[in-house]
Amino acid sequence: MKRYGNFIDGVMDFDGEEEVLYSPADGRQIAVITKANYEKAKEAIDSAEHTFKNVWSSISLQRRRQLLLRLSEIVQERSDEYALLESLNTGKTLRQSMFMDIPLGIEHISYFAEKAEFRDSREIEHPEYPGTKGIVQYLPLGVVAAIAPWNVPFLMAVWKIAPALLAGNTVVLKPSHYTPLTALELAEDAKKAGFPDGVLNVVVGDGSTVGNALIESEKVNHVSFTGSTRTGKEVMMKSSSSFKKITLELGGKSPNIVFDDADLNRAAKGILFGIYLNSGQLCESGSRLLVQSDIKNKLMEKIRYYMARMRAGNPTDMETDISAITTQEQRNKIIEIVERSKDKGADVLYSKEISGKVPEKGIFYPPTLLDNVSSDMDAAREEIFGPVLAVMEFKDEDEAVRIANDTDYGLAAGVWSKDIEKANRVANRILAGTIWINEYHLLSAAAPRGGFKKSGIGRELGLEGILEMTQTRHIFINESGTDLSDVAYALVVNE
């Protein structure tokens, strides 16, 4: 087992309480971590602030791109190690880590390194004042605190770190204390890539200690948080006292809408991918299936057929399709929501038998179809964050949109129809930040990601995600004088 400290000012710091991590895949011991306290988090903040002021603020945008590109190359060289570590730490299948999470993260680092979409300044004209010009600058904020969840730790680290560093900020990342391993490896590899000490610090600990230290610090200028809506509200309130910028990517209860003219075989696969990838432990998981009434039975037959073919086993086996549940607390929550919904009349249409096929010491919940779900049930309103698909019916387009929007959340949605005009029309009526048409879960570094309503504030990824990490300055330049400014001065100054 590797022993990890907190990564502060370029070195692993082992000062703190040690804790053994066990894999939710099979219960084996996988690493020893060091949990930071409030004071240790402040040390990381001080390191980031010092490096920003004395080193990083003078590094050019071109050089920052070069460093990110080198980081992507180093991680690529170790991608198999990252994939296994991510699978062991989270319980997700090795196939997902190896073919999706890790390569996607590497691609996203490369995207921010290579695409010239972000420029740190642009020139404008002032139509009111001929003969003048303006320079609009996109300046770094300073120290960015990034607080990431336990479900996709490598991708979340990349999504928060890469745009912040590209924009010229320094970062203190707090990964979940359940799944910090690939984030700590990434910090070590960033140093190997040539990032100065203190540019990227990683501290591991509880939200009530380390998280609060980051949110409350006057030296932190931006908080990027991904997690539950309830915790997001607390982050917003605590950040407001020091006027921090915030980015919040919170919960979701995303609908997958299937019309009667859809390619049902393709839709069935996309629906299963949308809910059972990572055992439903993704904020944008398509956890509500809205199906047009006259094709429901046919679609359910296809879904059950494919569910029966999903292979249970140890997630670290490349033949396994079903991920573990990352924490026992999360498994308990899934059970409670399903049972409360059943008490209100929901039926288990299908539950895959996995007992005896998964590791005895792993944490698992069977992929489940929950039928006859109404909008007032917990399965339709609460973020289950597990492999449970709530099935609901609709008669027409208007009812589909009404049910889809009948939620406090607005993170994502899917629309399945061969009629692209109709699909676009429906997509434009759904209140969500990402909407897939005849697809689900496919993410691009070029596309901004975030939510409407209680699913969050601000955006990650894309140009919009970089700009979240900046503050704007306008420089007004008058090179040769303008008669209009003389008119303006005359309002106050007489010759």
In tens, the pLDDT along 302-358 reads: 999 999 999 999 999 999 999 999 999 999 999 999 999 999 999 999 999 999 999
Is the same domain home to 65 and 186?
yes
Closest CA to 440 of 325, 301, 275: 275
Is the same domain home to 154 and 78?
yes
Confirm whether 482 is domain-assigned: no
**In angstroms, rounded to a whole number, what is the distance separating the alpha carbons of residues 253 and 379?**
9
Confirm whether 442 is domain-assigned: no
Tell me, what's the pLDDT at 488?
83
CATH number at residue 203: 3.40.605.10
Confirm whether 40 is domain-assigned: yes
Is the same domain home to 25 and 156?
yes
Read off the amino acid at residue 162. A
Contact in structure between 168 and 59 (CB atoms under 8 Å): yes
Is the same domain home to 240 and 263?
no
Three-state secondary structure readout of 375-411: CCCHHHHCCCCCCEEEEEEECCHHHHHHHHHCCCEEC
pLDDT of 484 > 80? The answer is: no
Is the same domain home to 196 and 322?
no
Is the same domain home to 132 and 233?
yes
pLDDT of 480 > 80? The answer is: no
Is the same domain home to 245 and 266?
no
Q: How confident is the model at residue 61 (pLDDT cuts 50, 70, 90)?
A: very high
- Please tell me the total count of domains within the chain: 2
283 classed as catalytic: yes
Confirm whether 449 is domain-assigned: no
249 classed as catalytic: yes
Confirm whether 485 is domain-assigned: no
Is the same domain home to 143 and 265?
no
Confirm whether 444 is domain-assigned: no
Closest CA to 46 of 142, 136, 153: 142
CATH number at residue 276: 3.40.309.10
Tell me, what's the pLDDT at 252?
97
Domain that holds residue 43: 2-250+455-475
Confirm whether 443 is domain-assigned: no
Catalytic residue among 43, 49, 86, 249: 249
Tell me, what's the pLDDT at 172?
98
Is the same domain home to 174 and 278?
no
Spatial strand order in the sheet of 121-125: 121-125, 132-140, 470-478
pTM of the model: 0.96
Catalytic residue among 49, 185, 283, 382: 283
**In angstroms, rounded to a whole number, what is the distance separating the alpha carbons of residues 271 and 261?**
16
Tell me, what's the pLDDT at 365?
98
Is the same domain home to 266 and 384?
yes
Is the same domain home to 216 and 290?
no
Contact in structure between 200 and 175 (CB atoms under 8 Å): no
Is the same domain home to 236 and 381?
no
Mean pLDDT, to the nearest integer, of 402-416? Answer: 98
Confirm whether 151 is domain-assigned: yes
